[in-house]
Chains A and B, each alone.
Chain A
Amino acid sequence: MAFITANWNPLGEAFYRKTDLYEMSWNLQDGLRDSLVAAAPYGGPIAFLREPHRCSPSSRPLLEIYSSSGVQITSFPWKSGPVVQLGWTVSDELLCVQKDGTVLIYDLFGSFKRHFSLGQEVVQTQVLEAKVFHSPYGTGVAIVTGSYRFTLATNIDDLKLRRLPEVPGLHGKPSSWVVLTQDRQTKVLLSNGPELYILDNTSCTAVCPPGVSPLSGSIVHMSVSFSYKYLALFTDTGHLWLGPSHLQDELIKVDTKKMTTPKQMVWCRRPQSQQPSVVLLWDRLLLVAGVCRDTVQFPIEEPCVLVGELDGVRIISSTNQELLQEVPLVCQEIFKIASMAPGALLLEAHREYEKCSQKADEYLREIKEQSMLGESVRQCVEAAAHEYDTNTQKSLLRAASFGKCFLTDYSPDQFVSTCRELRVLNAVREAGVGLPLTHTQFKQMTLQVLIDRLVYRRLYPLAIEICRYLKIPDYQGVSRVLKHWASCKVQQKDLSDEAIARAVCVKVGDSPGVSYSHIAAKAYECGRPELAIKLLDFEARSGEQVPLLLKMKRSQLALSKAVESGDTDLVYTVVSYLKSEMNRGDFFMTLRNQPVALSLYRQFCKLQEQETLKDLYNQDDDHQELANYYVTASYREKQRLESRLSLLQSAVDEYNKAKNEFAAKATEDEMRLLRFQRKLDDEKGAGLLGLSLQATMEALLALGLHKQAEQLYRDFRVPDKRYWWLKLKSLAEKEEWEELEKFSKSKKSPIGYLAFVEVCIKCNNKYEAKKYVSKVTPEQKVKAHLAVSDLEGAADAAIERRNESEMVVVLSRCPASDRLLIERLNRARATAAKK
């Protein structure tokens, strides 16, 4: 314990320490010499390409991929063109940027995924240098070409190449350059001798950071921090300039007294850094230069590589790996020699307590007197999270747990979650797994991403165990892992379809959120359609099966699955796909076997393709619907009577075939009416075309064309009642009273004579109305008399019929002054009531 500060080096007010991460388990014969190396941040994998420029077919360079602890994941001979740069994407895929501008993407296990090109002109000019960078938009690639032009792609998953403007006066390789992400824009910062330029989409601007003297020499190296917020410049005079990357504030100058260009230069910061620094690497020296202008030097025994992290720098050599970082403040407070911080006292108290010494109590008292017990526990917990050594973690957590006992209302959340997280971190730091994550990095990358990383490594059991241990809902945890596992399983070439399907089904079961169609799609991608079909069978959501089935050209099955899902939009989708894929005959046949799909397609045709609709009905011998189709079509030909009639004739034929005699007859009638109307329109300009039969007769009567109206009445066998009503109203409206009287006498009225009375009254002719009162049937007499306001008559009729309710009606209409009539009615009522 006492030696915990042994590896601390003061830098300004703060301390820097190197922590051993791994003895590398690899066995590199030539060390890290002559190799392209790419090590991913967040303890990611390491890729090597030995002698990348050698490309004779007889001795191909070897591409090797290792975990951070040096465990080989894969290796294969590089058969493609010369590689300029290697880099890792955020999802652990390896990017290999070739000289000709092609970028090849491999997964962690060395299987080729896809490739893309950085532009046609690069094939000619070649890539001079390339950089792979990460931003909120994903993983990007930037290159400078043989014609000294820059091209960049901000996100390789959504490839949009941008060729940046020319840099004036640049006639050779830039002395140094970096990619910057600022204000949601990706830019390139480059130096040409002592000059600095910023290149964005549209312009190239010369910049002169405040404080940097133009006399301090050519800028030969640059570095931006992990967050893109800070910039470091190194000049050939050995001066290092540090400051914010927006270049508005004055930069700080540190004189390194080294004239040679460093091999690597990396920012070393941490969140809430007290003393940020830049780490420079030469062949034999590692120099840490802080913003306080202090430096720390470490001798270097063998070639190594620096990997910038969120909270430090990893130093990888052929034998071991170390983490260089600023000691977190809370650890400084606890472990600094003679510290009186509450956490330090609590740690001491617990140490004494374990020795059964009463000093424990003294320390505790001291903390309590300052009311710092809560703070001391918090410090110990927090410090434990930052420590890499498990014994140190344990002693800090035990101290915290001890301190907690003396607190009554202390929330255990932080303590519990830190214990759990450390357990997970210690598990993934194991050399066998090789993810040297710090707690700070872990919090930044999130648990979700950690699980993804484990899954990319195919460390499925560990991933599942972590999900279960941290009680992540299945949906985001175990299921996600299983999904990846299954997608990987289906690619296993040495197993039969049968065996794989069974294995997948047993493991995955019906875990929520695991989509069998997703797994099946993977199987299909790997060229195993039979396996895909088998897996699709396990998919409970029939709708999900459809897209893949279509892709696999199992269109019949796709259609029935779509129908099964009940989702009509999906059915439509399959139908429109089938329509474009099949010939018409097959298409119709297929639909015929799926009535639901067929009726949906009919609906579609009704709105979009009338002609096809006809073909469909024809195919099904659906004469009734065909006839209806023709009827509908006839109304679209309103202006052309001949085509309208011929369509109606087709309708008649179809109605006959459908044995719908009524409709056939009605349609024939319609045609007859149309012809009749046309004739009269031509002869008399009557404007009848399109009117209903009733309206036609009405119009004819209004025009005084009684004979023609009569003809329609007979020809169309219009019921007497309706015709009488029509004629009665028409004559009354035209006030042809004589004509009306004649009509009333033409035969016995089928609608009675009360109608005559009422219609006349409606036309304000009481005189005419009275003529018909006498003809009204006895039952309607009272009503008729009342209609012509003949109260006496109404009373007589009611009394004669001895109908009490009628008498009441008459009474209700009698004015109070007509006392005689009222008395008479009342008497009659009394008599009627007696009976």
Chain B
Amino acid sequence: MAAHLSYGRVNLNILREAARKELREFLDKCAGSKAIVWDEYLTGPFGLIAQYSLLKEHEVEKMFTLKSGRLPSADVKNIIFFVRPRLELMDIIAENVFSEDKRHSSVDFHILFVPRRSMLCEQRLKEQGVLSSFINIDEYILDLIPYDGDLLSMEYESAFRECYLENDQTSLYHTAKGLMTLQALYGTIPQIYGKGECARHVANMMLRMKREFAGSQNQILPVFDTLLLLDRNVDLLTPLATQLTYEGLIDEIYGINNASEAFFDNLTVEQEFMTGVDTDKVNTYIEDSISQKDPLIKILRLVCMQSVCNNGLRQKVFDFYKREILQTYGYEHILTLNNLEKAGLLKPQISSRNNYPTIRKTLKLWMEDANEQNPNDISYVYSGYAPLSIRLTQVLARPGWRSIEEVLKMLPGPHFEERQQLPAGLHKKRQQGENRTTLVFFLGGVTYAEIAALRFLSQMEDSGMEYIIATTKLINGTTWIKSLMDRPESQAP
């Protein structure tokens, strides 16, 4: 069925099949014809698990989008709400149920919470007086969704924002739970490495969850040798840069009609920043782009990039950019600027010391002679710039993080290593020349270019390492910055 998932070194189809089985079981619990009312946000993720044909086989006859007011009429025995556990959605559901009750129909209601049940939401349904109308209230644990043969995504768009702006670690709890599910299917991962506050938190939760299930030992031979947890904020630079791989370019340019000259000007400026040229002055290209009222997100990407590459902007430069943005695009963006500051993407220079050049040199983030036709280094994915996140991954495999202690200390958050005990008899006996497998988890998002770089490393003959990639969400600079923006205009109650 999903052949693309079973080719890789790790057969991710197992995960998909497990998810499908659970879905079928739930659907069969509601005997008779069914209509599904979708939380629109979920249709994408579900599409990766099951097509309409599967639903149809289990007597799903109609599908609606969740919206307030009356449900469209459907001559079915069951109405099932597929929703995320969000309070505002509960209010809509209550409205739907009330209007259906008025019709005196004998339909059975069910709720399937994705990815987890919520007491808070059930409490809300109770307050609204509809909780008892539901025959089944279940949860569909869909944390990690197989996206490709070597790629898992949680499709959790707001993860970065929640973690860094709102101090809400819900996504990390789901991450830890997802990793526990993954280990239940693919064996305990003996080694865990991580860098960043969120990574530490996820690892702590995983270890605690494992203790909680002490006694029921996992008897599956481990498929993954190592788990590497990386916070997105350890490497803020990479997603800001324009991706120059095939998939990355499609992702970046899709829907944007950029004149090629402007595109190259843009790239030139990015490369200047990444190589540390004039990062402490107001950049004329940015200035002109503001004058020409280029899209705000493009401006923010460049300004943030300059800030990150300069370890903060000089106060004068910082204020200049901010004022230009507010005057040109509107004062409401003061909230967005504030968010970017909070996330560390945009900041005034506090110490005169700029660590970026040291990091760049030690990790060889800039390669002058990037060969894009026959790449020999990951830097080809950004035409010279090697993503920091991937360099960290690469160094971990060989020669190990001990060689870059100094640089690791300059990057935000703790770095750590944990070991998970395996039951006797599950220790792998490695064949000569057999590759090791590492699961790299990007907390807060990963770009196509980073994925391409890891795939490149997997294919390199002498790397001895295969990478499987997991993330909260596939991002690019635009979607990422967008997720951090506040638009008070659209928040009217």
Question: Which A residues are within 8 Å of any B CB, using their own CB?
Answer: 474-475, 510-513, 540-542, 566-570, 572-573, 576, 595-596, 599-600, 602-604, 607-608, 610, 624, 628, 631-632, 634-636, 662-663, 666-667, 669-670, 673, 691-695, 716, 718-719, 721-722, 725-726, 751
Q: Which of B47-55, B93-101, B208-216, B477-485 contacts A (4 or more CB under 8 A)?
A: B208-216
B32 to chain A minimum Cβ distance, whole angstroms, is 16
CB within 8 Å for A718 and B327 given contacts A510-B215, A628-B338, A667-B334: yes
- The 3 residue pairs across chains A and B that have the minimum distance between CB atoms: A512-B215, A599-B167, A635-B488
Q: Is the beta-carbon distance between B176 and A566 smaller than 8 angstroms? A: yes
B191 within 8 A of A: no
- Measured CA separation A541–B216 after assembly (Å): 14
- Measured CA separation A692–B347 after assembly (Å): 24
For B106-142 the 0/1 string (1 means CB < 8 A from A) is: 0000000000111110010000000000000000000
Q: Which of B285-293, B375-383, B411-419, B437-445 contacts A (4 or more CB under 8 A)?
A: B285-293
A677 to chain B minimum Cβ distance, whole angstroms, is 12
Q: Is the beta-carbon distance between B168 and A568 smaller than 8 angstroms? A: yes
- Which A residues are CB-close (under 8 A) to B323? 662, 666
Partner of B168, one of A567, A600, A716: A600
> Interface size on B (CB < 8 Å)?
52
Number of A-B residue pairs, CB cutoff 8 Å, is 130
A482 to chain B minimum Cβ distance, whole angstroms, is 12
Nearest to B121 among chain A residues (CB) is A569
CB within 8 Å for A673 and B331 given contacts A510-B214, A631-B488, A632-B488: yes
Q: Is the beta-carbon distance between B85 and A569 smaller than 8 angstroms? A: yes
- Measured CA separation A662–B318 after assembly (Å): 10
Q: Is the beta-carbon distance between B292 and A576 smaller than 8 angstroms? A: no
B87 within 8 A of A: yes
A720 to chain B minimum Cβ distance, whole angstroms, is 11
Nearest to B493 among chain A residues (CB) is A636
- Measured CA separation A691–B88 after assembly (Å): 31
B335 within 8 A of A: yes
Q: Is the beta-carbon distance between B335 and A628 smaller than 8 angstroms? A: yes
Partner of A512, one of B120, B169, B216, B334: B216
- Measured CA separation A595–B169 after assembly (Å): 12
CB within 8 Å for A693 and B327 given contacts A569-B116, A573-B123, A599-B167: yes
A597 to chain B minimum Cβ distance, whole angstroms, is 10
User: Can you show 24 pairs from A to B with CB atoms below 8 A apart?
Assistant: A474-B215, A511-B215, A540-B212, A542-B208, A576-B123, A603-B166, A632-B491, A635-B332, A636-B491, A636-B492, A663-B338, A667-B334, A669-B326, A670-B326, A673-B331, A691-B330, A692-B329, A693-B327, A695-B330, A718-B327, A719-B287, A725-B288, A725-B291, A726-B291
CB within 8 Å for A576 and B326 given contacts A475-B216, A636-B492: no
CB within 8 Å for A540 and B290 given contacts A573-B120, A603-B166, A693-B328: no
Q: Is the beta-carbon distance between B331 and A599 smaller than 8 angstroms? A: no
Partner of A666, one of B170, B292, B331, B489: B331
B406 within 8 A of A: no
- Which A residues are CB-close (under 8 A) to B205? 566
Nearest to A569 among chain B residues (CB) is B118
- Measured CA separation A666–B322 after assembly (Å): 9
Q: Is the beta-carbon distance between B166 and A573 smaller than 8 angstroms? A: no
CB within 8 Å for A716 and B172 given contacts A512-B215, A540-B214, A607-B88: no
- Which B residues are CB-close (under 8 A) to A474? 215
- Measured CA separation A718–B173 after assembly (Å): 48
- Measured CA separation A166–B489 after assembly (Å): 67
Q: Is the beta-carbon distance between B327 and A716 smaller than 8 angstroms? A: yes
Main secondary structure of the interface of B (DSSP, over half): helix
Nearest to B172 among chain A residues (CB) is A566
B285 to chain A minimum Cβ distance, whole angstroms, is 12
Q: Which of B173-210 contact A (CB under 8 A)?
A: 173, 176, 201, 205, 208
For B144-178 the 0/1 string (1 means CB < 8 A from A) is: 00000000000000000000001111101100100
B143 to chain A minimum Cβ distance, whole angstroms, is 13
B28 within 8 A of A: no
Q: Is the beta-carbon distance between B167 and A596 smaller than 8 angstroms? A: yes
Nearest to B176 among chain A residues (CB) is A566
- Measured CA separation A693–B324 after assembly (Å): 10
- Which A residues are CB-close (under 8 A) to B338? 624, 628, 663
Nearest to A663 among chain B residues (CB) is B334
B103 to chain A minimum Cβ distance, whole angstroms, is 24
Q: Is the beta-carbon distance between A567 and B322 smaller than 8 angstroms? A: no
Q: Is the beta-carbon distance between A607 and B293 smaller than 8 angstroms? A: no
- Measured CA separation A603–B87 after assembly (Å): 12
CB within 8 Å for A694 and B328 given contacts A540-B214, A662-B322: yes
Q: Is the beta-carbon distance between A692 and B335 smaller than 8 angstroms? A: no
Q: Is the beta-carbon distance between A603 and B168 smaller than 8 angstroms? A: yes
- Which A residues are CB-close (under 8 A) to B492? 635-636
Q: Is the beta-carbon distance between A576 and B120 smaller than 8 angstroms? A: yes
- Which A residues are CB-close (under 8 A) to B319? 662
Q: Which of B63-121 contact A (CB under 8 A)?
A: 85, 87-88, 116-120
Nearest to B117 among chain A residues (CB) is A569
B120 to chain A minimum Cβ distance, whole angstroms, is 4
Q: Is the beta-carbon distance between A635 and B212 smaller than 8 angstroms? A: no
Not counting A569-B170, A576-B123, a sample of 18 additional A-B residue pairs whose C-beta atoms are within 8 angstroms of each other reads A512-B213, A540-B212, A566-B172, A566-B205, A568-B168, A568-B173, A602-B166, A603-B168, A624-B338, A631-B334, A632-B486, A669-B326, A692-B330, A692-B331, A693-B327, A694-B293, A721-B287, A721-B288
B83 to chain A minimum Cβ distance, whole angstroms, is 14
- Which B residues are CB-close (under 8 A) to A662? 319, 322-323
B255 to chain A minimum Cβ distance, whole angstroms, is 24
Q: Which among B214, B324, B330 has the highest number of chain A CB atoms within 10 Å?
A: B330
Q: Which among B208, B215, B327 has the highest number of chain A CB atoms within 10 Å?
A: B327
- Which B residues are CB-close (under 8 A) to A694? 293, 327-329
- Which A residues are CB-close (under 8 A) to B211? 540
- Measured CA separation A546–B261 after assembly (Å): 61
Partner of B324, one of A636, A695, A719: A719
- Measured CA separation A721–B88 after assembly (Å): 47
- Which B residues are CB-close (under 8 A) to A540? 211-212, 214
- Which A residues are CB-close (under 8 A) to B166? 599, 602-603
- Which A residues are CB-close (under 8 A) to B167? 595-596, 599
Partner of B120, one of A541, A569, A628, A751: A569
- Which B residues are CB-close (under 8 A) to A718? 327
Q: Is the beta-carbon distance between B328 and A722 smaller than 8 angstroms? A: yes
- Which A residues are CB-close (under 8 A) to B489? 635
Q: Which among A573, A603, A722 has the highest number of chain B CB atoms within 10 Å?
A: A722
- Measured CA separation A572–B123 after assembly (Å): 11
- Measured CA separation A669–B167 after assembly (Å): 31
B264 to chain A minimum Cβ distance, whole angstroms, is 15
- Measured CA separation A603–B169 after assembly (Å): 11
Q: Is the beta-carbon distance between A570 and B287 smaller than 8 angstroms? A: no
- Which B residues are CB-close (under 8 A) to A512? 213-216
A436 to chain B minimum Cβ distance, whole angstroms, is 36
For B260-295 the 0/1 string (1 means CB < 8 A from A) is: 000000000000000000000000000110111100
Partner of A566, one of B117, B173, B287: B173
A762 to chain B minimum Cβ distance, whole angstroms, is 12
- Which A residues are CB-close (under 8 A) to B213? 512
- Which B residues are CB-close (under 8 A) to A567? 173
- Measured CA separation A666–B323 after assembly (Å): 8
A514 to chain B minimum Cβ distance, whole angstroms, is 9
A243 to chain B minimum Cβ distance, whole angstroms, is 33
- Measured CA separation A691–B292 after assembly (Å): 17
CB within 8 Å for A725 and B212 given contacts A635-B488, A666-B322: no
- Which A residues are CB-close (under 8 A) to B170? 568-569
Q: Is the beta-carbon distance between A635 and B491 smaller than 8 angstroms? A: yes
Q: Is the beta-carbon distance between B290 and A573 smaller than 8 angstroms? A: no
Nearest to B214 among chain A residues (CB) is A510
- Which A residues are CB-close (under 8 A) to B329? 692, 694
Q: Is the beta-carbon distance between B291 and A572 smaller than 8 angstroms? A: no
A730 to chain B minimum Cβ distance, whole angstroms, is 13
